[in-house]
Amino acid sequence: MLTKTVPAGALLPLYGDPPLTLVSGEGCTVRAADGREYLDFTAGIAVNALGYASPVIRRAIDEALESGLIHTSNLYRTLPGEALAETLVSLAFPGGVFFCNSGAEANEAALKFARRWAGATHGDGRTGFIAFRGSFHGRLFGTLAATDRPNYREPFLPVMPGVEFAEVGDLDCVHTLLARGQTAAVLIEPLQGEGGIRPIDTAFLRGLRAACDEHGVLLVFDEVQCGLGRTGDAFAYEHSGVVPDILTLAKPLGGGFPLGAVVANHAVGATLQPGDHATTFGGGPFVSTVAHAVVRTVCAPDFLRSVREKGERLRAGLETLLDLDAVREVRGRGLMLGLALNEPAAPVVSSAREAGLLMVGAGPDVVRLVPPLIVSDAQIDQAVSLLRQSIRR
Ligand SMILES: Cc1ncc(COP(=O)(O)O)c(C=O)c1O
């Protein structure tokens, strides 16, 4: 085990200067190279749904290694990916699944599938997309174009053309854009993550569904961060009753191994052909076996109930912080909560770390709380108390 701090000198300088070197973890805690333990409410940025050293994941890894097949490529059939796809479809909606390796790749594939569908269905040059203010869909050239962060985009222009942004809640604007007949799909996170933990109003999601149906446009839900149990439902959209045509998933899916997925309904799937899209690694037997164990665990009704209960406990705890001048609002659902501050989030994140609590911001003034979904009541209470100390400092 690596126990001393190693200079990060050979890594390209894309991540700033990491404040900690982590060497081990168990449950919801991680240990740093200096021996200090931290309560982890970052969970690998909403990835480690089952925490560290999960027995579920260990067992799945052992099972996955038995066949000796870690990777085979998609030139050959392997059964674990097919079984995982069946489970995802049965949890979401009838259709098919494409596996890739990250959230951005899942969204990138969704954009391609939408164009393919629009070409096959309308054949009138509808290649555009509508995305929303506050959105984050990834940093590849298509997904970057659909991400509402001009500063991420500008150094790399030109990105994919054809994306227009609407304000969340402004259905008139969406209708106006759709009426131009240039849109293949509308892309939205049902609960915005990086943009500040902002749940999207149910009435707006229903309005989007109706507008897409009216104009013959696909509705794509990006549940890379909010999907797979995080909000207390298998998928965050279930809360609204609105079903998308395409659903993208990633972060918790692979149990920490890189895996993304696109679930597309039959109408979309019917327009795809061999060669339209592909990836060497996507949905290999090893990662699919692990992911299947994760999905079966986090989408089990009792587990989802416990996420909702813990989410309520965390929310209630965070609401007790509203007496602090620095705290403005508690937002989110389940165990994807944000504490909106009247001041920058970064200093609070730093003092919380000093106090023993790991968190990450979501936008300039929101502290994001996305603990492992197995977090205990005692750990929730401890996090709230450490957060109070950190905001007071
Ligand atoms: C909603 C959403 N979509 C897409 C992405 C991009 O995922 P990845 O970093 O795996 O490419 C993220 C990452 O934070 C995300 O939160």
Residue 14: pLDDT above 80?
yes
Residue 83: pLDDT above 80?
yes
Instruction: Find the DSSP H helices in 254-376.
Output: 266-269, 285-298, 301-319, 345-355
Q: Which atom of ligand 1 is nearest to the CA of 135?
A: 1
Residue 214 makes CB contacts below 8 A (sequence gap 6+) with: 178
Distance CA 112, CA 90 (A): 24
CATH of domain 22-53+301-392: 3.90.1150.10
Q: Which atom of ligand 1 is nearest to the CA of 143?
A: 4
Q: What is the pLDDT of residue 224?
A: 99
Residue 6: pLDDT above 70?
no
Q: Which of 230, 369, 249 is nearest to 303 (CA)?
A: 230
* Average pLDDT over the chain, rounded to an integer: 96
DSSP state of 258: -
- The residue extents of the domains of the chain are 22-53+301-392, 67-298
Mutate to test the pocket of ligand 1, among 148, 224, 262 (most ligand atoms within 8 A of CB): 224
Distance CA 204, CA 109 (A): 25
Q: What is the pLDDT of residue 12?
A: 94
- Give the pLDDT confidence of 206-254 residue by residue, as tens digits: 999 999 999 999 999 999 999 999 999 999 999 999 999 999 999 999 9
Q: What is the pLDDT of residue 24?
A: 98
Q: 151 C-alpha to center of ligand 1: Å?
A: 17
Residue 375: pLDDT above 90?
yes
- Give the pLDDT confidence of 340-373 residue by residue, as tens digits: 999 999 999 999 999 999 999 999 999 999 999 9
Mutate to test the pocket of ligand 1, among 135, 251, 360 (most ligand atoms within 8 A of CB): 251
Residue 176 makes CB contacts below 8 A (sequence gap 6+) with: none
- Give the pLDDT confidence of 163-188 residue by residue, as tens digits: 999 999 999 999 999 999 999 999 99
Identify the H or E element spanning 31: strand 29-32
Q: What is the pLDDT of residue 292?
A: 98
Q: Give the pLDDT band of residue 7 (cuts 50, 70, 90).
A: low
Distance CA 130, CA 148 (A): 11
Residue 377: pLDDT above 90?
yes
Q: 175 C-alpha to center of ligand 1: Å?
A: 27
Q: 139 C-alpha to center of ligand 1: Å?
A: 8
Find out whether 114 and 220 touch, Cβ atoms under 8 Å. yes
Residue with tokens 């509308």: 186
Q: Which of 231, 290, 232 is nearest to 258 (CA)?
A: 290
Phi/psi for 369 (5° steps) reads -120, 105
Q: Is 194 in the pocket of ligand 1 (CB under 6 A)?
A: yes
Distance CA 100, CA 108 (A): 10
Distance CA 238, CA 128 (A): 27
Residue 295: pLDDT above 80?
yes
Distance CA 238, CA 181 (A): 29
The first and second tokens of residue 191, run together, are 């609960």
Q: Is 225 in the pocket of ligand 1 (CB under 6 A)?
A: yes
- Give the pLDDT confidence of 252-283 residue by residue, as tens digits: 999 999 999 999 999 999 999 999 999 999 99
Q: CB-hemisphere CA count at 13 Å for 17?
A: 4
Q: Which atom of ligand 1 is nearest to the CA of 223?
A: 1
Q: Which atom of ligand 1 is nearest to the CA of 107?
A: 4
Distance CA 95, CA 332 (A): 29
Give the percent of the chain with pLDDT over 90: 96
Sign of CA dihedral 173, 176, 180, 185: positive
Q: Give the pLDDT band of residue 9 (cuts 50, 70, 90).
A: confident
Q: Report the alpha-carbon angle 229-230-235, nearest 5.
A: 50
Q: Is 136 in the pocket of ligand 1 (CB under 6 A)?
A: yes
Mutate to test the pocket of ligand 1, among 135, 136, 235, 287 (most ligand atoms within 8 A of CB): 136
Find out whether 33 and 21 touch, Cβ atoms under 8 Å. yes
Q: Is 137 in the pocket of ligand 1 (CB under 6 A)?
A: yes
Residue with tokens 């962060």: 149
Flag whether the pTM goes above 0.85: yes
Q: Is 383 in the pocket of ligand 1 (CB under 6 A)?
A: no
Q: What is the pLDDT of residue 91?
A: 98
Q: Is 104 in the pocket of ligand 1 (CB under 6 A)?
A: yes
Sequence letter at residue 389: Q
Q: 248 C-alpha to center of ligand 1: Å?
A: 10
Q: Is 107 in the pocket of ligand 1 (CB under 6 A)?
A: yes
Average pLDDT estimate for 78-89: 98
Distance CA 91, CA 189 (A): 18
Residue with tokens 């037997």: 285
Distance CA 61, CA 162 (A): 42
**DSSP state string for 118-151:** HHHHT-S---EEEEETT----SSHHHHHTSS-HH
Residue 114 makes CB contacts below 8 A (sequence gap 6+) with: 129, 184, 185, 218, 220, 246, 268
- Give the pLDDT confidence of 96-134 residue by residue, as tens digits: 999 999 999 999 999 999 999 999 999 999 999 999 999
Q: Give the pLDDT band of residue 8 (cuts 50, 70, 90).
A: low
Q: Is 219 in the pocket of ligand 1 (CB under 6 A)?
A: no
Q: Which atom of ligand 1 is nearest to the CA of 260?
A: 10
Find out whether 321 and 328 touch, Cβ atoms under 8 Å. no
Q: Does domain 67-298 have CATH number 2.30.30.40?
A: no
Cis peptide before 80 (omega within 30 of 0): no
Average pLDDT estimate for 363-392: 97
